[in-house]
Amino acid sequence: MAVISAEGVELNVERLAARRGTTDPPTVVFIHGMLIDTLVSGYLTLGPTLAAAGFDVVMYDQRGHGRSERLPSGYTLDDFVGDLDVVLDRLAVSGPVHLVGHSFGGTIAFHYAARRPDRVATVSVIESEPATDGWSRKMALALPTAAVEFARGDFQQWVKEEHSAYMAQRVKAASQLLNSSTVAQDIPASRVLDQEHLRALRCPVLAIYGSESELVDQEPWLKSLISTCRTVVVPDQEHWVLLAHPRMVCDLIIGWVREHHPARSREVGGR
């Protein structure tokens, strides 16, 4: 792991090199979700498999999460987008990258693709949505509620008993972030994307949803707005599709990247 300084905040970064000989392998950047998530979810589900498929993989803890620095303020979408820019610069990543975003990470991926189209080859989102006015309203309700609920000792104990001690630790860390910073205020106040921003996206977009998720309604809406969007709905799944079916999600992403980057996914020797 490495630590990168991004405009006054230290970010924890993990990079996995392509494990099979490839000529100029594509770079895949995994962006994790909000609050209880870290780069660990990408490492345990996608990272090694994507590297074995011939991709360079970059994962990082977003500001305030995991081993990255927690600041008292500075949590707008533009701040998160700026962090991604700095990560790519510090790692000297050349050429457009393939963004893979889980939940809030996908929201950042949409935002980055709209703000920095020159740096994005494709976007793959898992159970995610773009930042719109409606999204901001949801965040304005959900984040203060989470700040109260996550701080309750009985809720943390319930998470430990029903899920795992690790998840309980993540809830506790999320509570500390929510109650010691302006994240719950900054995120809903962020600049958002309107329909014209989304229609203007030209990079290919892959969107994966669970059929029982509250976000599955995004599927037809995204397809109607983004001409390059392909969607996959996984039957009998809710929000945690990535954790429930990591191999399937990996296969979808590998196929998507190769489809849109075939020359750079070829092994040495032309195989």
CATH number assigned to the domain comprising residue 198: 3.40.50.1820
Alpha carbon distance 112, 120 (integer Å): 8
Whether 152 is in a domain gets the answer no
State the angle between helix axes of 165-180 and 133-150 in degrees (0 to 180), rounded to the nearest 10: 110
Whether 163 is in a domain gets the answer no
Residues ≥6 apart with Cβ < 8 Å to 153: none
Which pLDDT value is given to residue 22?
66
Helices (H), the chain: 39-45, 47-52, 77-90, 104-115, 133-150, 153-162, 165-180, 183-186, 195-199, 218-225, 241-244, 246-260
Report how many domains make up the chain.
1
Place of tokens 């999320």: 174
DSSP 220: H
Whether 168 is in a domain gets the answer no
Start-to-end C-alpha separation, the chain: 32
Tell me the pTM. Answer: 0.94
Rg (CA), the chain: 18
Whether 205 is in a domain gets the answer yes
Closest CA to 135 of 80, 199, 196, 187: 187
Chunked mean pLDDT (size 10), the chain, 271 residues: 84 91 87 96 96 96 97 97 96 94 98 96 98 97 97 96 93 97 98 95 96 94 95 94 96 96 49 37
Whether 151 is in a domain gets the answer no
Q: What is the pLDDT of residues 121-158, one digit of tens each?
A: 999 999 999 999 999 999 999 999 999 999 999 999 99
Residues ≥6 apart with Cβ < 8 Å to 72: 180, 181, 182
Whether 64 is in a domain gets the answer yes
Whether 253 is in a domain gets the answer yes
Q: What is the pLDDT of residues 47-87, one digit of tens each?
A: 999 999 999 999 999 999 999 999 999 999 999 999 999 99
Domain extent at residue 46: 2-132+191-265
